């Protein structure tokens, strides 16, 4: 005598079959699909070997976890979009202003004949020697600044060479050197650059500031913003 393993109580139930589930155009199982498959599994189980309760609970918990992760990913994407828009708005407000960047190279032009920057010192230095170099590395002027306060020391160059003549437009570098622990040491220099425009860029990198005569720099790399 044979035994029918199909549950007769499920015969009239409105159950979505596997073929119906596969018709989902996005090829992703939804919560409705999961419970349809679970009902199908229960209807087809052997009544002499029913599915263990712990197994069913584990399956439901696994689906809930996957579903929760999917919803969390969507929320993160939405949050990332909001943050990108906020950064773009913040960056657009910097157009026409000057920002401090981690580079000792600046630009001399007819509209901006001088350069400003910041020298970072590890300790108080009585006198800091500053050298201005052109793109070829030739020193065109030297002078000293007071570093007795230590920390970040403002430095400014009027765009004149050692003979007092205006230099040609182009890129120039500010080099700084001081005595630290009894030895001559090169000091880090940052310079101000003019923001001419903003590129939104990819969401991973954020907005890019286009600096006049220098190129692009990430908004996150900006050290400070000048008042003018």
Looking at the structure, do residues 144 and 193 belong to the same domain, yes or no? yes
Same domain assignment for residues 132 and 173:
yes
Among 72, 92, 112, give the residue marking a domain's end. Answer: 92
Q: Both tokens of residue 50?
A: 């029913």
Average pLDDT of the chain, as a whole number: 78
205, 131: one domain: yes
pTM of the model: 0.62
Please name which of 104, 116, 125, 120 lies closest in space to residue 184, comparing C-alpha atoms.
125
Domain co-membership, 145 together with 185: yes
Domain assignment present for 172? yes
Radius of gyration of the chain measured on its C-alpha atoms: 34
Tell me which residue range forms the domain holding 132.
98-225
Q: Please report the pLDDT score of residue 24 as a whole number.
A: 47
Does residue 215 belong to any structural domain of this protein? yes
Give the CA angle between residues 188, 192, 198 to the nearest 5°: 125
Q: Are residues 116 and 215 in the same domain?
A: yes
Q: Give, as one character, the DSSP assignment of residue 102.
A: S
Higher pLDDT, 71 or 161: 161
In this prediction, residue 11 carries a pLDDT of: 42
C-alpha to C-alpha distance for 113 and 63, rounded to whole angstroms: 66
112 and 209 assigned to the same domain: yes
The percentage of residues in the chain with a pLDDT greater than 90, rounded to a whole number, is 45
- Please write the tens of the pLDDT for every residue from 176-216: 999 988 899 999 999 999 999 988 765 566 788 999 999 99
Same domain, residue pair 18 and 131: no
Q: How many CB atoms lie within 10 A of CB 58?
A: 11
Name residue, tokens 């679970």.
Answer: 38
> Does the residue 64 lie in any domain?
yes
Instruction: Kindly tell me if the per-residue pLDDT of 57 is higher than 90.
Output: no
CATH number of the domain enclosing 106:
2.60.40.4070
- Alpha-carbon span 94 to 222, nearest angstrom: 11
Which is higher by pLDDT, 39 or 127?
A: 127
pLDDT for position 15 = 40
| Domain count across the chain | 2
Residue 52: other Cβ atoms inside 10 A: 9
In a domain, 2, yes or no: no
Q: Which of 35, 58, 92 is the last residue of a domain?
A: 92
Are the beta carbons of 30 and 24 closer than 8 angstroms?
yes
Of residues 106 and 38, the one with the higher pLDDT is 106
Both 138 and 210 in a single domain? yes
Q: How would residue 170 be classed by pLDDT, with cut points 50, 70 and 90?
A: very high
């Amino acid at each position: 005598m044979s035994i029918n393993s199909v549950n007769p109580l499920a015969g009239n139930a409105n159950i979505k079959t596997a073929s119906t589930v596969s018709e989902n155009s996005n090829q992703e199982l939804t919560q409705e699909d999961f419970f349809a498959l679970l009902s199908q599994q229960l209807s087809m189980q052997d009544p002499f070997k029913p599915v263990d309760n712990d197994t069913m609970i584990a399956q439901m918990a696994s689906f809930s976890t996957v579903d929760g992760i999917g919803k969390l990913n969507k929320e993160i994407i939405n949050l990332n979009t909001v943050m990108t828009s906020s950064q773009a708005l913040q960056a657009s407000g910097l157009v026409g202003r000057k920002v401090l960047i981690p580079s000792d190279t600046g630009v001399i032009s007819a509209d901006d004949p001088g350069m400003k920057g910041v020298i970072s010192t590890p300790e108080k230095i009585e006198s800091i020697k500053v050298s201005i170099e052109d793109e070829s590395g030739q020193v065109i002027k030297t002078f000293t600044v007071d570093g007795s306060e230590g920390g970040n020391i403002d430095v400014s160059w009027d765009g004149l060479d050692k003979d007092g003549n205006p230099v040609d437009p182009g890129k120039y570098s500010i080099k700084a050197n001081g005595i630290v622990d009894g030895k001559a040491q090169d000091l880090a220099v940052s310079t101000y650059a003019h923001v001419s425009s903003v590129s939104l860029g990819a969401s991973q990198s954020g907005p890019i500031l286009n600096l006049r005569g220098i190129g692009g720099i990430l908004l996150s790399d900006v050290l400070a913003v000048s008042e003018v």
